Amino acid sequence: MIVKERVNPFNHELIEKFKAVEPPTVGHFRHDGFMSPRIRPLFPEAAMVGPAVTVKTPANDSTMVHKVLEVAQPGDVIVVDRCGDTMHACWGGVVTMAAHLRKIAGAVIDGVATDLLEIIELKFPVYCTGTSAITTKILGLGGEINTPVQCGGVVVHPGDLVCADANGVLVLSPKDVKSVMEEALRRQEREKTVIERLRQGENLADISAANKLIREKGR
């Protein structure tokens, strides 16, 4: 078993500012870092932004998921690599309460969770592939904390920024965060103008230049 130090390259002000970024906006200009759509929130109002604390836990063992709750700090996002297990829920009501009390921002699991109603009641953001009634146990089979993991088809390093809302999960390397945030906020501001032009009766294909492109391609 491996337990490494927590990594957080971000200050509080940057995290708070990034909360205004919508992952789908980033999807308009960036192609990597997006987790598979099979990783979905357990309730639509879920949203979170924070540095990743990573966990790798095999098969039906949840030993390291319990341990990571000592390592993670307020505002962190716990990212769990289930090593291919699709049946056993490593995250449920008790783990959610423990994370909630430590003010963890949320969790992303490449696998299933359980105790859906308890998670919803606490309004704790959990993103996963679904739910299951069969759970993991404290078996000590192995695992790692704060090493690179795979989650939703994305390699996540400790300290990467995790941003998620009802639409999905985005992971960014610390070196890309500022530029992505600035571009996304610019685009979101520009979108307000597009909406207003639509309300004034303009066609979307004219605003987006789709009509212009169609005319050029038709020559």
Quote the number of domains for the chain: 2
Indicate whether 197 and 98 sit together in one domain: no
Indicate whether 189 and 169 sit together in one domain: no
The interaxial angle of helices 93-101 and 63-71, nearest 10 deg, is 10
Indicate whether 163 and 196 sit together in one domain: no
Indicate whether 105 and 197 sit together in one domain: no
Indicate whether 198 and 110 sit together in one domain: no
DSSP string for 87-131: S-B-B-HHHHHHHHHTT--EEEESSEE--HHHHHHHT--EEESEE
Indicate whether 193 and 101 sit together in one domain: no
Residues β-bridged to residue 50: 162
175-194 pLDDT, tens per residue? 999 999 999 999 999 999 99
Rounded to 5°, angle at Cα 83 from 77 and 84: 115
| 3 state DSSP class of 154 | strand
Residue 53 has pLDDT above 70, yes or no: yes
123-179 pLDDT, tens per residue? 999 999 999 999 999 998 899 999 999 999 999 999 999 999 999 999 999 999 999
77-135 pLDDT, tens per residue? 999 999 999 999 999 999 999 999 999 999 999 999 999 999 999 999 999 999 999 99
Indicate whether 167 and 89 sit together in one domain: yes
Indicate whether 118 and 24 sit together in one domain: yes
Indicate whether 68 and 151 sit together in one domain: yes
Indicate whether 187 and 94 sit together in one domain: no
Indicate whether 61 and 121 sit together in one domain: yes
Q: How far is CA 17 from CA 10, 146, 210, in A?
A: 11, 25, 32
Look at the alpha carbons of 123, 126, 131, 132 in this order and tell me if their dihedral is positive or negative.
negative
Domain carrying residue 71: 2-173
CB contact set of 84 (below 8 Å; sequence gap of 6+): none
**Torsion from C-alpha of 180, 45, 76, 96, nearest 10 degrees:** -160
* CATH number assigned to the domain comprising residue 31: 3.50.30.40
Taking every pair of Cα atoms in the chain, the longest distance, rounded to a whole number of angstroms, is 68
Indicate whether 191 and 145 sit together in one domain: no
Residue 25 has pLDDT above 70, yes or no: yes
- Evaluate whether 169 touches 152 at the Cβ level (below 8 Å): yes
Q: State what percent of residues in the chain have pLDDT above 90.
A: 93
Report the C-alpha gap between 194 and 207 in whole angstroms. 7
